[in-house]
């Protein structure tokens, strides 16, 4: 997961938990890092750490696949026309009741930055999305979560067209975060989301509710590294962007 050539890790195949990565429909897709992502390592983390195992075809499994496929597209696809989970013309998303953002806005700042928007004063921000690009934000979290950032659906409260569900996100802090040493500990948080689908069963609106301070607080538990050590550790753990998502 930490390194490797594209030809060694990007092998056309099938992802058990996500759609719209491989196949004829993706032959012209433009990928953020030049090739489709592979999820073998984070899928292993998911299978080892999940608390629910939904049978294929159940409502919970379908919602979980939609969630994972949508998240994959947000982080790895560049052009709105390449998205299959949502309607690029009407799609909006919001975090914790923030103003709705269009797809172009989310793609412009990147998934992590969109999910970590804050109104805190700059001097109080453990992570400042206004100072990060889409690419730099992914390097930060990939360097912290060396095995990826797994997600599962815990419960589904309602079916389409307005799907309400509870989710859990987790990883292990095996790399540094913003100058803080890795702890090796489990990092997790819970949230609730609403997926609103249009008549074509494409996502039209996504609303996510969670406490980002729960996530960031766990990443600040490690002691501060000195400047030289932090720089060396960050460089050696960032790895290949194709390998983690």
The pLDDT tens digits for 15-26 are: 999 999 999 999
DSSP state of 24: G
pLDDT tens track for 196-207: 999 999 999 999
pLDDT in tens, 36-59: 999 999 999 999 999 999 999 999
- The whole-angstrom separation of Cα 175 and Cα 143 is 6
Task: Give 226's pLDDT tier (boundaries 50, 70, 90).
Answer: confident
pTM equals: 0.88
The runs of H, that is alpha helices, within 20-110 are: 40-49, 59-76, 103-109
Q: Say what the alpha-carbon torsion angle 211, 213, 214, 217 is, to the nearest 10 degrees.
A: 170
The residue length of the chain stands at 245
User: What local confidence, expressed as pLDDT, does residue 6 receive?
Assistant: 27
Confidence band (pLDDT; 50, 70, 90) for 13? low
The CATH number of 39-220 is which of 3.40.50.2300, 3.40.50.920, 3.10.450.50, 3.40.630.30?
A: 3.10.450.50
The pLDDT, as a whole number, for residue 41 is 97
Instruction: Report the alpha-carbon distance of residue 126 to residue 1 in Å, rounded.
Output: 27
Q: What is the pLDDT of residues 111-139, one digit of tens each?
A: 999 999 999 999 999 999 999 999 999 99
pLDDT digits (tens, 9 = 90+) for 131-171: 999 999 999 999 999 999 999 999 999 999 999 999 999 99
Identify the pLDDT of residue 48.
98
Domains in the chain: boundaries: 39-220
Torsion of CA 118, 128, 243, 59, to 10 degrees: 0
The mean predicted confidence, pLDDT, of the chain is: 90
> Is pLDDT above 80 for 242?
no
pLDDT the model gives residue 7: 28
**Does the pLDDT of residue 235 top 60, yes or no?**
no
């Amino acid at each position: 997961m930490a390194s490797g050539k594209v030809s060694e890790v990007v092998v056309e195949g099938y992802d058990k938990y996500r759609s719209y990565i491989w196949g004829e429909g993706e032959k012209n897709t433009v990928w953020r890092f030049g090739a489709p992502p592979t999820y073998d390592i984070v899928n292993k983390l998911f299978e080892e750490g999940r608390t629910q195992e939904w049978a294929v075809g159940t409502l919970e499994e379908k919602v979980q696949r939609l969630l994972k496929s949508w998240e994959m597209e947000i982080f790895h696809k560049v052009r709105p026309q390449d998205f299959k989970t949502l309607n690029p013309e009407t799609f909006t998303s919001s975090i914790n009741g923030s103003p709705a953002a269009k797809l172009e806005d989310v793609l412009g700042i990147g998934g992590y930055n969109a999910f970590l928007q804050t109104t805190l004063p700059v001097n109080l921000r453990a992570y400042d999305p206004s100072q990060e690009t889409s690419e730099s934000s992914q390097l930060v979290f990939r360097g912290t979560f060396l095995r990826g950032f797994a997600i599962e659906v815990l419960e589904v409260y309602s079916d389409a067209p307005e799907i309400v569900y509870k989710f859990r996100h987790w990883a292990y802090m095996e790399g540094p975060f913003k100058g803080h040493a890795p702890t090796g500990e489990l990092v997790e948080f819970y949230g609730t989301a609403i997926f609103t689908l249009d008549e074509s069963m494409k996502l039209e609106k996504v609303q996510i509710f969670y406490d980002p301070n729960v996530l960031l607080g766990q990443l600040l538990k490690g002691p501060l590294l000195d400047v030289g050590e932090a720089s060396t550790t960050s460089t050696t753990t960032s790895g290949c962007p194709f390998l983690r998502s």
